Structure 1
Amino acid sequence: MGDDKRNSVAGKVATPKTGGSSPAIQPLADPLETLGKAIGGRIKITTTTPHSQTLEGSLFTADPILNLIAINSRSNSASSDYHIVPVSKIQNVQILSLPAERDGGFASAQPPIGAVDTRVLRQREDARVAKLKEKEMNRGKGVTREAQAIYDALRRINMPVRWHGNQIIAHDTVIIFPPYKPEDCRGQSNKPEVTNRVKKVLEGERRKLKEKEEREKKAATPTGPRKGG
């Protein structure tokens, strides 16, 4: 059925002719294929009755999948007035002028294609890769959910921490062994103040996590109907 619609305008496509004479109508087996070569040029079409109209302008596209064409009837490059016309509604077509030869590739495409700043794209890509690497580096391997929560809590308060197996290294001097309680901290003997600070912070963050867990459990516990209501 699509071929019938496309062939309905076969033999009714006029192509430009040199010498100043009127365009001659030549039989064409596939008008969309011919119009495809005229994209960017100027055409003039007449649609079928009962709502026949004549449109003239630059050919924006000739789509063989949807069986339609799009014409911009505005000559002013600063504005556009597009008309979408099904091929089955076209009575005849005149190709008034073919598009000028363009050797500039995308730089001379119509409508113009904006330049792509590859430097910015590469920066975004590098930033995304770095973020993914950081996320993977801060994910404990084979540790419990509680251990990861403690690690993330310490990172949120900007304590420098990293994983070493299932151990948490804080400030590159204090090792927090499982199950990650204050008494599980081991630090350098010549820096007891660092170890004590890590213990104090760890105790506070564990308390916050426990309180949060209790609130979540309480919120998830269904309450029965009130008595006397």
Structure 2
Amino acid sequence: MSTVVSDCFTIGSIVSTKTCYNEEIEGEVLAFDPQSKMLILKCASSSGNPKRNDVNIVNLSLVSDVQIKKEVTGLPDAPQSLNLHRLNTRVRNSIENKKRLVTALSACLDPEGQRLFLAISRVIDDVVWVGQNIRVYNEVTIVPPYKVENVIGDLDSKPYNYIKKFVEKHWRDQREHATTSQHHVAPVVSGSTV
């Protein structure tokens, strides 16, 4: 079924393929594995966005035609160097953040408290559990049952007002979600036959 023009494709070459479904795929070769006969092509974006590309993986065993439109004979440009220090720092910070969240969530058994803690931690890094209390910015505390009236701190401070509004919005969203969920439950009809 396959009429492969080459046993190897050079990275950067432009290749056109016709699948067994008569779909034409044309793009720049990103990679090729001769053993599995898999060709990875970078194609123009199907969304039309010129800053994006589609990546197609083509199984050459399932194509009816392959044509090399433009052969690249030179070596491809070297990839931009990666800032390994920056990447390692991001990985380390991400791991530390996940460990902090796991430790924090295991500190509280109240699911409402855990939901509020997670909501806050998505926006604010400086949030920890102190016993059963949530401590934010080291100056605002939320005590069980974690409602708006349970926010403790300096009433005139910006962090206190921000956290109070955040908790208020969190509970409003929770109520709306619960109301929406109840409306989507199909009614149960029970009956008997005579």
Normalised to the residue count of structure 1, the TM-score between the two structures is 0.39
Larger Rg: 1 or 2? 1
Normalised to the residue count of structure 2, the TM-score between the two structures is 0.44
